């Protein structure tokens, strides 16, 4: 097979290709790369000439990669990550003047206590930087990191992360009970099992880790409402006798706005920990390292 002459190819096109693979949109890819839509379309046309393949095909509203594009990304992705890792330490970062766009993933449990504080830090220390937050639970976090859609994930995720991912445990927490009724005494186990419950569930079912703990005691609860967002709890608990069992860092943030009180669980509360995981390719990047430090400080605040 003849050797490819790299001098005849603009290697910047590979960055455009990788961004198109992540965004699946010419417009969004151009925005990330600070390119106009015509310039991004022109780069895509040149990529098609280089690889002799359409690379992306529009099917309805979707912008889908071809089989050849997926094959190319398997080889180009790790190469670009290696180059990024090699260059990162030599690229200085000044949060006061730089205009970096950060992309992170965050579980709902971590976003509620983290983002208000982190946003204040960014506006104060890095006013020209921007931040995109993707919802990331234990199922989606590994793929978001592996694809490069995000550079880091904050949340209750530990399993199945990419092999080169770095990780750091940020908090050691436990579950507590949230309630909106004015009862003075902490909830008892009998009352806990008798009263209706709201459950935040990513799987769409009405059972979770708390139900497993209750089953060990030979008890059960009655879950009548499943939600996908912790921020809805103050609204749905108000004016009812419903209970919600949530991580303590979520409960403290929601209760701080009034209308809710926190009780300890009337049974041994299962532990939970917030984890920070990031791509190995960004480990030495000064900007990414700066953001990780601010996330740690904001969450512990």
Q: How many Cβ atoms sit within 10 Å of the Cβ of residue 237? A: 21
Q: Which residue has the higher pLDDT, 119 or 4?
A: 119
pTM over 0.75: no
pLDDT, tens digit (0-9, with 9 covering 90-100), for 196-246: 999 998 777 888 889 999 999 999 999 999 998 898 999 999 999 999 999
Query: Burial of 176 by CB count in 10 Å (0-12 exposed, 13-18 middle, 19+ buried)?
Result: buried
Q: Which of these, 153, 125, 129, lies nearest to 140 by C-alpha position?
A: 153
Q: At what angle do helices 26-33 and 37-51 cross, to 10 degrees?
A: 110
Contact (CB, 8 A) for 8 and 21: no
pLDDT, tens digit (0-9, with 9 covering 90-100), for 94-144: 999 998 899 999 988 899 889 999 999 999 999 999 999 998 887 888 888
Helix (H) / strand (E) element for 173: namely: strand 166-179
Contacting residues for 76 by C-beta, under 8 A, at least 6 apart: 14, 17, 18
**CA 259 from centre of chain:** 28
Contact (CB, 8 A) for 233 and 240: no
Q: What are phi and psi of 139, to 5 degrees?
A: -85, -40
**CA 262 from centre of chain:** 27
Contact (CB, 8 A) for 95 and 102: no
pLDDT, tens digit (0-9, with 9 covering 90-100), for 17-51: 888 888 888 888 888 788 888 889 999 999 998 88
């Amino acid at each position: 097979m003849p050797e490819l002459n790299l001098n005849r190819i603009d290697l910047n096109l590979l960055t455009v290709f990788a961004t198109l693979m992540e965004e699946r949109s010419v417009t969004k890819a151009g925005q990330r790369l600070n390119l106009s839509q015509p310039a991004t379309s022109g780069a895509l046309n040149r990529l098609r000439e280089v690889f002799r393949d359409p690379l992306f095909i529009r099917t309805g509203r979707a912008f889908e990669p071809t089989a050849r594009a997926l094959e190319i990304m398997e080889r180009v992705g790790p190469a670009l990550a290696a180059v990024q890792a090699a260059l990162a330490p030599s690229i200085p970062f000044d949060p006061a003047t730089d205009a970096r766009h950060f992309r992170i993933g965050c579980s709902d449990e971590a976003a509620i206590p983290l983002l208000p504080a982190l946003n204040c830090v960014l506006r104060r220390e890095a006013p020209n930087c921007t931040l995109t937050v993707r919802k990331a639970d234990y199922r989606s976090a590994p793929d978001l990191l592996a694809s490069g859609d995000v550079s880091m994930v904050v949340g209750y995720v530990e399993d199945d992360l990419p092999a080169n991912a770095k990780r750091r445990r940020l908090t050691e927490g436990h579950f507590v009970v949230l309630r909106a009724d004015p009862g003075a005494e902490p909830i008892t186990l009998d009352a806990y099992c008798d009263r209706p419950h709201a459950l935040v569930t990513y799987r769409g079912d009405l059972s979770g880790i708390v139900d497993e703990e209750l089953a060990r005691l030979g008890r059960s609860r009655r879950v009548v409402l499943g939600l996908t967002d912790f921020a809805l709890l103050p609204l749905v608990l108000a004016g009812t006798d419903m209970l919600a069992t949530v991580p303590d860092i979520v409960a403290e943030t929601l209760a701080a706005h009034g209308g809710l009180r926190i009780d300890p669980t009337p049974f041994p509360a299962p532990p939970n920990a917030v984890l920070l995981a990031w791509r190995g390719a960004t480990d030495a990047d000064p900007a990414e390292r700066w953001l990780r430090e601010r996330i740690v400080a904001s969450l512990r605040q």
